[in-house]
Amino acid sequence: MGALTVRTRNRWKIRLDHASEDLPWGMRGVVSIRDYSDAEYFQDFERSFSLTSTREVLSRAFLTKNFDVDSLNLRFERSETYLGATVLQERMPTLEYYRRTSQIGGSPIYLSMQASLSNLFVNRGAGLLHGGYGRADLHPLFSFPWKGLPWLSVTATAGGRWTGYTDSTDDGQTRFLGESATRAYGEAGISIVGPSFSRIYDWTIGPFGKFKHVIEPRIDYRYVSNVDDPARLPVFDDVDTAFGMNQVRYALVNRLLARPADPKSGNASEIASLEIAQTYAFEAAQTTFGTVASGNPSFRNAGPVDAALRVAPGALLSFDGRLSYDTKAGQITSTTIATSVGWRSNFFNATWFSGRPVLTTPLPPGSTSPNTDQLRFAAGFDIARPFRIDTEINYDVRQGLVQEDRSLLTYRGSCYTAFLEFRQLRLPGNHRNDVRFVLNLKDIGTLLDLNGTLKAGLF
C-alpha cells in the first residue's frame, strides 16, 4: 500500500502595466512588470499559446524626455530566459541619448547619434559569466544625401563607435577578469536607390480607380572595421556585437500603389510589394568569438536569396509571404505564409512556418529530422447577438500532432460577461485538458474564475 501525500504550494504571477503622459517637464513614463513563481507556470495556467510556449520573462520601465530631434531615456530592464538553464540579465539603469537624423546647420551633412551609460548585470548559469559591470557607448553617424538626378537617390554614410567596459572576460566568456577594456571601430556605407521605373494604369478594380507600378533597384553597401581581441568583450546586447562587416545587399523592389475611385476616400496608398534580395559578404564577419576563416566550409560569400511578398488592399484582407532560397544547396530553407481576413468584429488568421536547414554533414541513422512544418489557425465570430466563439489551433504537420487547440465561448449580458473555455495542450512533457469558467461584472471586473485540469491519461 502506498501513502497518499498532499503538498501545498503557493504559485503566483505579477503583471503590472502603467503609462503616464503628464509627468513634470513634459516627460513620459512607462512601467511593464512581469514575474512568475516558476518557469512551469506558463504551461500550467496561461491560456495564450504564445505564453505557454514562451521562454522569456521581461520587465521594463523607462522615463523619456524629447527635445526637438533629441531624446533622453532612463531605462530599467530585467529579463529571465529559460533555455535549459536560466539566464538573467539586468540593466539598473541605462541612461540613453538619441539624436534623430537631422541637418547640421545649413550644410548638406546630416547627423544621427546614439550614446549610453549603463550599469549591467548578467548571470548565465553555473560555470558561465556571472557579475556586474559598467558600459559607456558613443555612436555618431554622418550622412550625405545626393539627389542630383530625379530618378536616382544616393546617400553616403560615415561614422564610428567607441565603447568602454569597466570589466572584461576570458576568451570563453565564462568569467570576468577584473580588467577594463575598450573597443573602437569605424564604419562607412552607401545606399543607391534607382533608377526607378513606373507605369500608371487607368483600371477600375473594386474600390480603386487608378494603379501605379513602381520598380526600384536598390544597393546597400556597408563596411565596419574589425576590432582587437573581441572575445574579451562581455556580450549583453547588440551594442556589443556590432562590428566587423564588409558586405553589400542588392534588391529589386516592386511596389503597387492604388488610388480610390472616389476622390473623397483619400489619397493613393501602397497595396502590394514584392522584394527579392541577396547579401554578398566580401569577407567573413568578425564576432566575439573571432572570425570564420574564408576557407572554412561554414563561410560563404553569397547569402540566401530572400523574397518577401506583401498584399494589403484594404482593412478586409492581408497576405504576407516570405522565403529564403540557398543557391549553393539548391533548396528553399525557410518559408512563412500568413493571411488574415477581418470584417467588423469577426476574423480569420492562418499562418504556415516551414524550415529546411542545409546540413553540412549527414545525420546519423535514426536521428530526428531537423525539418519543421507548423500551421496555426485562429478565428473569432459573433454567432448570435449575445454569443461569440473564438478558437485557436496549433498543428505540427510533420508529427501529425495538434499541439494546442483552444475554444472560448462568450456570452455578453447587459451588465456581465461570461466565458467558457476548453483547451487541450500537447507539448513535450505536458499533455493536459483544461476547462475554465470566468464571470466578469461590468465596471467591476472578475467576480468568478474557476479552472480545472485533467492530466492526459488519467481518464
CA triple 282-283-288, angle to 5 deg: 140
> Is residue 215 in a domain?
yes
Tell me the percentage of the chain whose pLDDT exceeds 70: 89
- Encode pLDDT of 115-141 as tens digits: 999 999 998 888 888 889 999 999 999
Q: DSSP 3-state helix, strand, coil percentages of the chain (rounded to 5)? A: 5, 65, 30
- Give the length of the chain: 459
- Give domain status of residue 227, yes or no: yes
In a domain? residue 204: yes
pLDDT in tens, 277-323: 999 988 877 776 554 444 455 667 888 999 999 998 877 889 999 99
- CB-based burial of residue 423 (10 Å sphere; 0-12 exposed, 13-18 middle, 19+ buried)? buried
Residue 56 falls inside a structural domain: no
pLDDT for 434 equals 82
Low-confidence ranges of the chain (pLDDT < 50): 1-5, 49, 291-295, 456-459
Considering the domain boundaries, does residue 189 fall inside one?
Answer: yes
State which amino acid sits at residue 384.
A
- Whether 343 maps to a domain, the answer reads no
Provide the domain limits for residue 174. 148-314
Q: 419-427 contacts: CB < 8 A, separation 24 or more?
A: 421/47, 423/47, 425/43, 425/52, 426/401, 426/402, 426/456, 427/43, 427/52, 427/53, 427/403
First to last CA, the chain: 22
Residue 190 belongs to some domain of the structure: yes
Q: How far is CA 224 from CA 177, 187, 242, 255, 285, in A?
A: 27, 4, 8, 31, 9
Residue 87 lies in a domain: no
For position 223, what pLDDT does the model report? 94
At 26 the three-state DSSP class reads helix
* Segment 80-115, tens digit of pLDDT: 887 667 788 999 899 999 999 999 988 999 999 999
Tell me how far apart the alpha carbons of residues 236 and 243 are, in angstroms, rounded to a whole number. Answer: 14
Backbone φ and ψ for 324, nearest 5 degrees, come out as -125, 135
Q: Provide the b/e sequence for 66-98 (b: ≥16 CB within 10 Å).
A: eeeeeeebebbbbebbeeeeebebbbebbebeb
Give the count of domains, the chain.
Answer: 1
